[in-house]
Structure 1
């Protein structure tokens, strides 16, 4: 079992962490907060207040038990076949659930942890890259790594890479598919103590469905939304707003959010379906930007489907080409009635798109 972790290129031995000897050092705020959590874990604290990431609303504190977090770590370790002594690279913000659970996995699975502050390119901390068996990244980070000359080789040396925190774009998924190492998109939330299902997106074995972790049960409610029960939910069924198709008793295909259904002229349009089609045509037109699809009030239709692109402007001819291409795969009600460009999207504290605030920018223009 490891005796220390590395944080900001400095070794901290577990005995010194548990005794809080690090408090005598002049540490930056991020290092101090990270070590404070580690000290609580090593000292067998039974409950933790963790903050949600803000993906579907304002970040909020939630209380999780040690047993829930331990179960989640063990389930991930079993699914990814992680072993004691494997190395783990932690570059997610440890103030939020995803980063916290990387720490817990390190302790519970006996991984040798290397921790750096979160940044868009986590490999910037080295000139000679050390290799790791396991890491978790957000899409922005894996995209930055793939753009480095040695980034692909670094990723391919890993035993497992998980990607979460935001959807993986169509263009990025095409880049990830060429990787040989197992790279997985994750499905989960703070209430399930991060992911309860994985979808392989790399190599010839890439999948279009999620495979649930060991000890997880799933079903659908009357709306066709996913319900989950596992040790991480304290063996209680929790109901999500995620519309899914159950492809097997232990597999599902994610269709979109129930609360992102746009009612346009009495026809229900799933925003994520339109986004998937838009991602492909943007890729074909070599338009690189963040975007989302939403419904805006309309006198006749009730709501109309619109696309919002993070661009200063888009030529009329390009807009016309995008809409023409979308009409080949989407119905008339699904094709966006307008494309709005905004130079910079509003964001949550974890750098995710804040759709509501961004839409308000459009309505006030």
Structure 2
């Protein structure tokens, strides 16, 4: 197999593709080892790949993907984002998982130059200004870190960024409007071989809905959850994601069916509340990870609770937050309690593990 570039740039070093293929390139970290291994497997024309799911929506498991499926996914993204040979793509997500691996596959499929840096809160801090980035993929905490750093100025020189893993703060989306780089939120999972839909977050095409990539057909089941049909997937995928379907190519994401709270007979989607809670906490000066969940309650069955990571709040701060929440939320939506934990439990891909974190609270009480 030939490749347009003879080297990749990784953690400050130019490494030849040939050195990776013949295993003379020595990895300096576990991340580099995973990256070199996947590149070597891909360039040897390997046809089957085993990939670990993150565990953010269930028990982590290994699934089998084919080379043809991964190439089909890469070409859909190439078409949707107008990626071109000769572009430079920054890979800064772990290549043990689907998001990082598919960045590498997109480079090979499209002919983009590969620039790789160890996953970090601010990956741009590790990339010299002399390296111009056309395309990259981040998770929200990376975007937040970059926006509050001197590297934010570089966002005007990047072509486009795809962001996945968790919803973005509306205040942050508003902040993105000042930059010429086009940002997209992604919807997808390991089982769909990375994203199958994109939401344009800024620019003249900014939208509140996700639009499916070419060749993807969408529908909903009897629960109101999204189903996905695609030519590169062996069968229809039935998700647990509650959506408002606009047509068979566009949808508004509402939340997870398995996170729905039944409080006093009223069903509440916590993710729907969290999108507003982000702004409320921001106005109160609370900038830390959080989520809304339920804990057992003798009277209500389940009690809506705001969970905050970090140091405990004093009673005055709790009172201020409660008063601010009451201005935004109806009585049945308002969290009845605020619980702080020093540290949430996370998946291997740095997503909050809601189920295990809630279990930890239940055991503690």
TM-score, L = length of structure 2: 0.93
Contact 2:27-2:33 within 8 A present in 1 as well: no
Q: Could you say which residue in structure 2 is the equivalent of 1:181?
A: 181
1:352 match: secondary structure: coil
Once the two structures are TM-superposed, the CA of residue 168 in structure 1 deviates from its matched residue by: 1.7
- How far apart, in 2, do the equivalents of 1:89 and 1:200 lie? 20
Shift of 1:204: 4.7
Change in Cα spacing, 1:205 to 1:319, as seen in structure 2 (3 Å) is farther
Secondary structure class of the residue paired with 1:327: helix
Spell out the pairing of 1:1-365 with structure 2 (5 A cutoff).
1-22=4-25, 25=26, 27-126=28-127, 128=129, 130-149=131-150, 151-234=151-234, 236-363=235-362, 364-365=364-365
* Alignment: residue pair count: 361
Unaligned runs of 5+ in 1: none
Specify the SS of the correspondent of 1:349.
coil
Residues 186 and 197 in structure 1, CA contact (< 8 A), matched pair in contact too: yes
**Are the equivalent residues in 2 in contact too, given 1:260–1:270 (CA < 8 A)?**
yes
Q: TM-score, normalised by structure 1?
A: 0.93
- Partners of 2:228 and 2:92 lie apart in 1 by 28
For residue 339 of structure 1, report the CA deviation from its aligned partner: 0.9
Q: Displacement, 1:76?
A: 0.4
Q: Give CA deviations for 1:139-197 in whole Å, capped at 9, x if unaligned.
A: 11111111222x23312211210011222223332322322211011000000001000
Alpha-carbon offset, residue 127 of structure 1: 5.4
* SS class of match (2:144): helix
Tell me the CA shift for residue 93 of structure 1.
Answer: 0.4
SS of equivalent residue, structure 1 residue 48: strand
Q: Partners of 1:310 and 1:273 in 2: how far apart? A: 20
Q: Stretches of 4+ moved more than 6 A in 1? A: none
Query: In 1, distance between residues paired with 2:8 and 2:128?
Result: 20
1:6 is displaced (CA, Å) by 1.7
Q: Which runs of 5+ in 2 are unaligned?
A: none
Could you tell me whether the CA contact under 8 Å between 2:137 and 2:163 is conserved in 1?
yes
The CA deviation at 1:126 is 4.2
